[in-house]
Amino acid sequence: MVQLRLTPKGGRDAIDGVGELADGRKVLLARVRAAPEKGAANAAVEGVLAKALGLPRSAVTLVFGQTARLKSLRVDGDVGEIAARLEALAG
């Protein structure tokens, strides 16, 4: 599971690194151009994360947070490879 904080209507589609929530948890920060209407922002963030990890779009699925900024996404693939790519995204 990947924890992510999404900014819809953020002007561009991108992963912006890692942020820390008030409770100390670390999450990926992402933004998408899509508005949070009819699941458009959720679909966009799945695509952005898949592209950033070098995976097909079908490998990333939103599990929790359909109507919230904080989201949990399942990423299918080689765990070691995905972990290495996430670390690279985190800087």
Residue 73 has a CB neighbour count (10 Å cut-off) of: 21
> Which range marks the domain in which residue 47 is found?
2-90
Q: Take residue 12 and report the two structure tokens written for it.
A: 């561009």
H or E, element range at 51: helix 40-53
Q: How many helices (H) and strands (E) does the chain have?
A: 2, 5
The band of 38, judged by pLDDT with boundaries at 50, 70 and 90, is very high
Which pLDDT does position 37 carry in this prediction? 93
Q: Give the CATH number for residue 25.
A: 3.30.1200.10
Tally of structural domains, the chain:
1
pLDDT digits (tens, 9 = 90+) for 59-86: 999 999 999 999 999 999 999 999 999 8
52: amino acid identity, one letter: A
pTM, two decimals, is 0.91
Q: Take residue 83 and report the two structure tokens written for it.
A: 């972990």
